[in-house]
Structures are given as C-alpha cells and as structure tokens.
Structure 1
Amino acid sequence: MDTSDATDRAARLLVGLLAAAGTAHMVAPKPFDAIVPAALPGSPRAWTHASGVAELLLAAGLAVPRTRRVSAIAAACFFAGVFPANVKMAYDWRHKPAPLRSLAYARLPLQVPLVLWAAKVGRNAAR
C-alpha cells in the first residue's frame, strides 16, 4: 500500500468516526448532554447539537480531498477542545461501577491518538 492509499484510508476511517459521532449526538443526545461542562453558557443540549453539527461538517470536509488538509487540522483542534467534556465524565463517573468508571477513564488518554491521527491526515493530505 503506497502512502496516498494509506492516507486516503486513514482519512476515510476518520470520516466514519466523525460521521458516526455526529449522528449519535443528534439521534441520542441525552448521554452527551450529561458531559457538557456546566461552565459553558447556554443549555447542554445546544452544545450537544453544536458539537454534533461540527463533527458532521468535519466529516464532510475530510471526505473531500480538496478540503481534507484544513478539515483535518480543524478535527485535531476539535478533539483537543472536547477534552474537558471527557474530564467531566471521568469525574462524574468516579463512583459508578468499575466497568463504567473504566470506560470514562479510558476516554481521557484516547484524545491524544485522535488528535495525532487527525493531524497526520492533515500533514499527509495532497496540497
């Protein structure tokens, strides 16, 4: 597999992840509402829908080779920006049963590979 094939595959996988997450934010918003930090102005549902729209737009931008580079960098920034929601979830779930608590804690370091993945897709996108 040459570099462009690997880059296209990585981009397509990222498109799928973001499209699925964006769709989930729209179809089943309640779990996402619960992890919106209280310090943000407005309603949690508005933030849930806004982040879902952002994920869908990022997926669309990544799907188009012409906009892939800028969309990938935006996706890396987005993944870094949602980290506080994961911190809130880990804190809120600290007294839940071990499997749920483990899931919440596992989300924290997961943001790092997501940021790196999106940044790499951006670096490798055709100019």
Structure 2
Amino acid sequence: MKVFKKATIIVMSLFYINIGIRHFSNPTYFMAIMPPYLKWHLELVYISGFFEILFGVGLLTRYRRLSSFGLILLLIAVFPANIYLIMNEQAQNALEITKQTAIIRAPFQLVFLGLAYWHSKD
C-alpha cells in the first residue's frame, strides 16, 4: 500500500503542477468556466494556478500535509467553476465538451478531495 500511495502522490503532484502551469500558458481556457458573478477572472486564474503549482510541489516535500490541506481548500474554492460548466453551454463549447462530460467530470473533484486528504496522512 505504501508504494501505491507514494505513486499517487507523485502522479497527483505532477498533475497539479501541469494544470497550474496551464493556468499561465492558457488562461483563456480556465476563464471560460469562471462564473460571471466572480470578479477579476484573469487574476483568479493566475492565483489558482500559482497555488496548484505550489501545493503540487509541496506534495513532494516535508510540507505534504500542509499542501494536501491547501489542495482541499483550493478544490472547494474552484468547485463553483465545475457547477458553472455543467449549467452553461457556452462554457462547455469553450472547453469543447458536452454537458454529459461536464456532469461526469464534476464527481472526480470528490476523488481529488479524497486523495488530497489521504495524502495528508502518514
């Protein structure tokens, strides 16, 4: 089990670092799923990308527990974007996905939350 857990920590770390970098290299992609009631879309995309990189790197350090809880908070904070994606056809078109794909995608956030919590444990 320890080998599997270490593998998931590495995979999730690389996942968050990659997604975080994409927030800077293609912010328009992420801005497309930002609910309109939020202000400063570009700034929020950059801030969330920064923290995805920071916490992704942190998973590989002695700060794994802190980074895991940071990821939990981040995943909760960005969840409204997933709801907006489900409800908004324009956002779905921007990401080139169907409503069904958006619906299927949303529960994976719970998997990511669970993994982050599991990774916070020794």
Common topology (TM > 0.5): yes
Change (3 A) 1:109 1:95: same
Q: Please, which runs of 5 or more residues in structure 1 have no aligned partner?
A: none
Shift of 1:94: 8.0
SS at match of 1:123: coil
Change (3 A) 1:95 1:76: closer
C-alpha distance in structure 2 between counterparts of 1:36 and 1:94, whole Å: 11
Q: TM-score of the superposition, structure 1-length normalised? A: 0.84
* Equivalent AA in structure 2 for residue 72 of structure 1: S
C-alpha distance in structure 2 between counterparts of 1:34 and 1:8, whole Å: 34
- Would you say the 8 A contact 1:34–1:44 is kept in 2? no
Cα RMSD, aligned residues only: 2.0
Shift of 1:40: 2.1
List structure 1 runs of 4+ shifted beyond 4 angstroms. 94-97
Count matched residues: 119
Matches within 5 A, 1:28-47: 28-41=26-39, 43-47=40-44
Matched, 1:57 2:46: no
1:26 counterpart (24, 31, 38): 24
1:48 counterpart (45, 52, 64): 45
* Equivalent AA in structure 2 for residue 30 of structure 1: T
Matched, 1:78 2:71: no
